Structure 1
Amino acid sequence: MNEYNVTMHKGGAIATIEFSSIYGNSMPLGLLKELKDTIHKAASDIDVNVIVLQSTGRNFCNGAYINELFTLDNEASGKAFFKGFANLINEMRKCSKLIIGRVHAKSVGGGVGLIAACDYAIALEGADIKLSELGLGIGPFVIGPAVARKIGESAFSQIAIDSTMWRNGDWARKKGLYAELHPNEESMNESVLRLAHTLAHSNVKAMAEMKKMFWQGTDNWDQLLDERAAISGKLIVSEYAKAKINAIKLKQLEKSN
């Protein structure tokens, strides 16, 4: 069984990209790289007009893979890991195709950043969110610009500071992270398909220009997110963060026994 999986299915000018991992949909560096490359492939395909990003499993995305964080032993390896999130967000930002996020369940940390990097997110009730980074001894530095761009600096600071509190889907919708929140999966799927088919038959050049407009003012993100990855990389190898991550691993081990 693969530890993680990324697939792309094309149909009617719609590219559906689906990811999953055996770690509760948390993301090791390999998954981040493969997802980035798959989005780039879809963006470069002249037969694709719109991208749908989704996952399978109990959670939409659990953020960074804790066990891999624990193996990081110097600032360079720490930065390299968080560059995975930086590169993925920047790929989504630069992608000329509009990206619809289908969010069927909860997201933590980097998963919230992934949703924020989508151009339009359609979610299911119960798709709660939390930024847990401070509880690990770091902070949501890399994903911060994407999340703050969607929900505003004030709301971003609230969820970044209170890292243990879940915000429900309605909170996320009202703040602008979700464009839509649906009561059941059937309704959510219908809306995703409706919008995807509409965009599949829309003017590709117009959508590309719209996306440039939506992301105006982010041209410095290649450098900015690289700098943020360095901050996270330095903090994650600190003794404080190592102790926090080890405590989480021990709790996970106790639950499994």
Structure 2
Amino acid sequence: MIHEIQEGYVKTETHRGITTIEFFHPQGNSLPYKILDELAKSIHIAGHDDDCKVIVIRSAGSNIFCSGASFNELAAIKTEAEGTHFFSGFANIINAMRKCPKIVIARVHGKCIGGGVGLVAACDYAIAVSGADVKLSELAIGIGPFVVGPIIERKINMSAFSQLAIDAISWRSCDWAKRRNLYAELHPDIASLDEAVLKLSTFLTHANPQAVAVLKKGFWKGTEHWDEFLHERAAISGRLILSDFSKIAIEQFKQKMAAKEKQSSN
């Protein structure tokens, strides 16, 4: 099933017990609210589908797995309620993965920025390709990784998370991400990446679903309050995105992107 969204889409396919959820947006696989919403719904539906035994999250295109929040939508936010609503989209995805009784594998074919890092961290197992570097850029636009922060910290520990959150302008290499356990596996090329994803997902289609469900609960122990907690964190970002600092930073970013696009078209 394909849901087309603002020049992008979320596509779900199930084959031999493997449900693949693919998203795409022409602006670096960014995440407008409708894509966030469809991803959360798709994960929820797959988690309760008896034909689905394991879920693979992937994006289309090349080079960038996910560039995080849509800057066009960030720039359009006018009230705290609108801001909270937008950032709750990230909370909904994390909570959908948290409650899903199936293992969720991330197929990471390129760089991850901001909310994209959170998306990977929320998956139970991430398999990446060389070059899949990471960056948390939120502080550079006047907010912070408040919604995705808890799951990233949980996955890579507070020290590594603080490094990412503080140095919001520098990339951390894929090797750094692997050493900090954001990535479970790192492969030299796309062919070996896909081979690894298929091998693990196929194995999991033969696993006892009841055992998997119990295992998942153990992975997320201590997060039972996250329905409320992550939405409270969304409200923080929703308030800060209205600051003059954020508005100026976002506008400057959009101008830079427009200049790059104009240069590349000449």
TM-score if structure 1 supplies the norm length? 0.98
Which of 129, 144, 152 pairs up with 2:149? 144
Which of 180, 183, 192 pairs up with 2:185? 180
What is the identity, as a one-letter code, of the residue corresponding to 1:179? A
| Distance in 2 separating the partners of 1:254 and 1:8 | 35
Structure 2 SS opposite 1:80: helix
Q: In structure 2, what is the equivalent of residue 4 of structure 1?
A: 8
Shift of 1:170: 0.6
Matched, 1:242 2:241: no
| Distance in 2 separating the partners of 1:167 and 1:108 | 10
| Distance in 2 separating the partners of 1:140 and 1:26 | 16
Q: In structure 2, what is the equivalent of residue 41 of structure 1?
A: 45
What is the identity, as a one-letter code, of the residue corresponding to 2:220? W
Q: In structure 1, what is the equivalent of residue 258 of structure 2?
A: 253
Which of 113, 119, 123 pairs up with 2:124? 119
| Distance in 1 separating the partners of 2:218 and 2:193 | 27
Q: Deviations over 1:12-34 (max 9, x none)?
A: 11101111112110010010001
| Distance in 1 separating the partners of 2:179 and 2:52 | 31
Q: In structure 1, what is the equivalent of residue 36 of structure 2?
A: 32
| Distance in 1 separating the partners of 2:186 and 2:77 | 37
Q: How does 1:49-60 map to 2 (within 5 A)?
A: 49-58=53-62, 59-60=64-65
Structure 2 SS opposite 1:7: strand
What is the identity, as a one-letter code, of the residue corresponding to 2:151? A
Structure 2 SS opposite 1:60: strand
Q: Deviations over 1:187-221 (max 9, x none)?
A: 11111000000000010000000000011000011
Matched, 1:14 2:18: yes
What is the identity, as a one-letter code, of the residue corresponding to 1:181? L
| Distance in 1 separating the partners of 2:259 and 2:52 | 46
Q: Deviations over 1:86-121 (max 9, x none)?
A: 111110111010001000000100000000000000
Which of 83, 108, 113 pairs up with 1:108? 113
Q: Deviations over 1:137-195 (max 9, x none)?
A: 00000000110010001100010000001011110000000000000111111110000
Structure 1 SS opposite 2:14: strand
| Distance in 1 separating the partners of 2:10 and 2:259 | 30
Matched, 1:134 2:139: yes
TM-score if structure 2 supplies the norm length? 0.95
| Distance in 1 separating the partners of 2:35 and 2:233 | 20
Q: How does 1:23-102 map to 2 (within 5 A)?
A: 23-58=27-62, 59-102=64-107
| Distance in 2 separating the partners of 1:162 and 1:126 | 19
Shift of 1:78: 0.5
Q: How does 1:214-253 map to 2 (within 5 A)?
A: 214-253=219-258
Any stretches of 5+ residues in structure 2 without a counterpart?
Answer: none
What is the identity, as a one-letter code, of the residue corresponding to 2:21? I
Any stretches of 5+ residues in structure 1 without a counterpart?
Answer: none
| Distance in 1 separating the partners of 2:139 and 2:60 | 27
Deviates more, 1:20-29 or 1:112-121: 20-29
Structure 2 SS opposite 1:123: strand
Structure 2 SS opposite 1:96: coil
Detail structure 1 runs of 4+ shifted over 4 Å in the superposition.
Answer: none
| Distance in 2 separating the partners of 1:47 and 1:256 | 43
Q: In structure 2, what is the equivalent of residue 162 of structure 1?
A: 167
